[in-house]
Each structure stands twice: as structure tokens, then as C-alpha cells.
Amino acid sequence: MKRILAAGIPAALFALGLVLLGTGLLSRGSALDLASRTVPILLFVAAMTVVTELADNAGLFSLITARLARLGTRAGPGGAESGRIIVLWLLVVALATICTVFLSLDTTAVLVTPVVVSLARHTRVAVLPFALATVWLANTASLVLPVSNLTNLLAQHQLNVSPLGFARMLWAPAVVGVAVPLAFLVLIFRKELHGRYAPTALPDVVDKRLLWISGATVTLLLPALVSGVTVAIPASIAALFLVLMFLVRRRSAVRWKVVPIQPLLLTMGLFLVVATLHDHGLGNALARVAGSGVVLPSLLQLTAVGAVSANGINNLPAYLALEPVAGSPVRLAALLIGVNLGPLISPWASLATLLWHSRLKAQGITFPWPRYALAGLCVVVFLMPAAVLALWLSAGMPG
């Protein structure tokens, strides 16, 4: 019953959006403007999900993680190899960060989480430091490039900047977004990260040619995503190519379930609902609490409103609701800090968090939400001011 309800919510929300459009509560002009901004982004999300799911089916991510586990090991007495747990953890941190930056936070939540959990279990180390690092970085490492987060792609459209221009604007708070959560994790799990582990054997590869094809496709795709070309184009080309390769070599892997239909319906429904609310005065109401200006207290205020909104309703509608009151590139960057780095408290704050939790449950691991919320709150209290201060200093804003 729970699964049926969970599956029905995205469809119901999307249907509600269509009703709002059909009854005229959402104006046709607002709907067309929304479509021009979001359809290419949603196409990118669908294409990237197909690419990463098929690449994972080929064994690419399992192989990468297993090879990471063997880095930094050395032979001990009797020839047995072992490595330091903290080094293994840092390698997983690097994998989660790179995957988030170049492939998106949802990819990290969906694909890296089960691989990391399996890696921790096979090396007989504590799972929680690895699992929590994955979900925190899936959110907080998603600030530096447009492709890292759907909110970034929406903001890039508004800012009209290249991926490198986007990175130049947000590099300082992006560094803080990775450093602060990692510092907390090291402090919390200092005992669990001490000691040594035995590396795992490399996984068996069923189809080496398919593995190499998938690896080459992902490798070529990464620079294309930051080239300045509309990201939906290279992602769609890569997705179509891999689908054709799998149809030839492993037809059973090409199924409709690789397309993220439910997340897309949920996202489109949220977009339509928020656009309707904006047609009826939401922007004026938010302007009173979001503040104005680019002095440090004003930026902190907007970031706080963004973080609270993301944890209250979800980061995507929170961004769309607050974007019109941002008013300038620096304030838009402050909003992104709130909706990207802030969703560490509630389970619904970002889709990536929900995906992460569902993957943990599938692996038989339980992590109570109250503990998750308390740990996330402790991080956010320090992370938000530090990231905004980094933005303010790097942008040379007035005090």
C-alpha cells in the first residue's frame, strides 16, 4: 500500500498542475515561460539517468570503487595487503564529490550509495561514515557547476552565464560546502575512521567490451557537459548511443524503469504548482521575508529563507518560489547556497536524500530520521554562514 501511495503522489501532483493550467489558474504565458526554461533541463535529467543506469549495469561504478579500495594499500607480514580506513574514506569522498559535480546529486544518491555500502561491508568497516558522507556530499557538493543540481540549471538560465562563469561565481562557497561537512564527519566518526582494512577483489566483468564502451561514453560526456553547449544535447546523444549499444549486446538491461518517470512527474507537478502560486501573489509575500540588498546580513537572510524553505517543502519549489525576489547575481548565488547546501535536515528537502534513504533500506540499513535531522541541523548552523561569508568575500561585496 505504501508503495502504491508513493507511486501515486507524483502522478497526482502532475495531474493537479494540468488542472491548474486547464482551468486558467495558471496563465498560458506563465506556462510557456516555464516550459521554455524547464523542458531542456528535464530532458537532461532523463538522459543523464539513462546514461548512469546503463553504465552502472555494465559494471563501471562498481569497478571504479573497487579499484579505489585498492589504492593506498600495502603488503604486510605474510604478504597480506591492507590499507588505512581514513584513506579509503577519503577516496569515497572524492568519488562522491566528483560524481555530484559532474553527474548530479541524484546520480550520487542512486548509484554511489549502494556501491559504497557494499564496499564498506566487504572491507568490514563501519558503514555509517561512508553512507552519511555520500548523502551530505550529494547535496553540498552540488553548488559549483550547472549540471550538479537542477536548481543550478535553472539559475544558469537566469544568469545567462557559461558553466565556467557559473563556477567562477560560486567556487568559494562550493569549497566551503565540501570542507565543513567533511570536518564534521571526521569529528563525529574519528574512532570508526581509525584503523586498517583489507581490500576487496575486483568484480567480475560479464561483458568487457560493453564496460569499455560505457566508460568511454561517460569520459567523453564529462567535458561536453561543461563546454557551454546546452547540456541536454550531449546527454541525450550519450543516452541514445548507450541504449543502442545495450540493445545490441544486452537487450535485457534496456527497460522503461531506467527512465526516471516518477521523479520527472513530481518535478513537473511542483513547477506547475509554484508557477500558479506566483501568478497569485506568492512573490510579494516572499519579498517581505527574503529581504533585499547585497550587504552580508541581507545575503544571510535570503540564504536562511532558502534553507528553511527547502527543508520545509523541497529545494526545487523553494528555488522557483524565491528566484524572483533574488534580484541580482550575488543574491541568486546566496539563494543557491540555501537551497543546495541547506537540505540536510528533513527527509524531503531534496530528491537525492529520499533516493539515498531508499537505497539504504534496500541494503538492509536503517538510519532514523530524527538522528539524521539532528546531525544535519548541526552542520547547517555552521555551514550556511560560512558559505555566505565565502561568497561575500570572493565577490567583494560591501559590508
Helix (H) or strand (E) holding 84: strand 81-84
> Which CA distances in Å does 225 have to 89, 104, 173, 218, 262?
27, 11, 21, 10, 24
**φ/ψ (deg, to 5) at 340:** -100, -45
Cβ–Cβ < 8 Å for 250, 97: no
The tens digit of pLDDT for each residue in 20-29 reads 989 989 898 8
Instruction: Encode 341-379: b = buried (16+ Cβ within 10 Å), e = exposed.
Output: bbbbbbeebbbbbbbbbebbeeeebebeeeebbebbeeb
Band of the pLDDT at 74, cuts 50, 70, 90?
Answer: low
**Mean pLDDT value across residues 362-367:** 77
End-to-end CA distance of the chain: 54
In terms of Cα–Cα distance, which of 125, 149, 130 is closest to 197? 125
> Which CA distances in Å does 181 have to 186, 194, 219, 342?
9, 18, 28, 11
**Mean pLDDT value across residues 280-302:** 83
CB atoms < 10 A from the CB of 87, how many? 17
Cβ–Cβ < 8 Å for 309, 321: yes
Band of the pLDDT at 60, cuts 50, 70, 90?
Answer: confident
Q: Across-strand partners of 196?
A: 84
* pLDDT number for residue 288: 79
User: What gap in Å lies between CA 312 and CA 188, rounded to an integer?
Assistant: 26
| 3-class DSSP state of 52 | helix
> Could you tell me the pTM of the whole model?
0.82
pLDDT at 268 over 80: yes
* Exposed / middle / buried, residue 273 (Cβ in 10 Å: 0-12, 13-18, 19+): buried
**Three cell numbers at 131?**
553512507
User: Residue ranges of the domains in the chain?
Assistant: 26-395
User: What gap in Å lies between CA 22 and CA 169, rounded to an integer?
Assistant: 39
* Exposed / middle / buried, residue 209 (Cβ in 10 Å: 0-12, 13-18, 19+): exposed
Residues 6+ apart with CB under 8 A from 354: 347, 348
> Which CA distances in Å does 332 have to 145, 156, 302, 383?
14, 10, 9, 18
The tens digit of pLDDT for each residue in 29-56 reads 888 888 887 888 888 888 888 888 898 8
Cβ–Cβ < 8 Å for 155, 332: yes
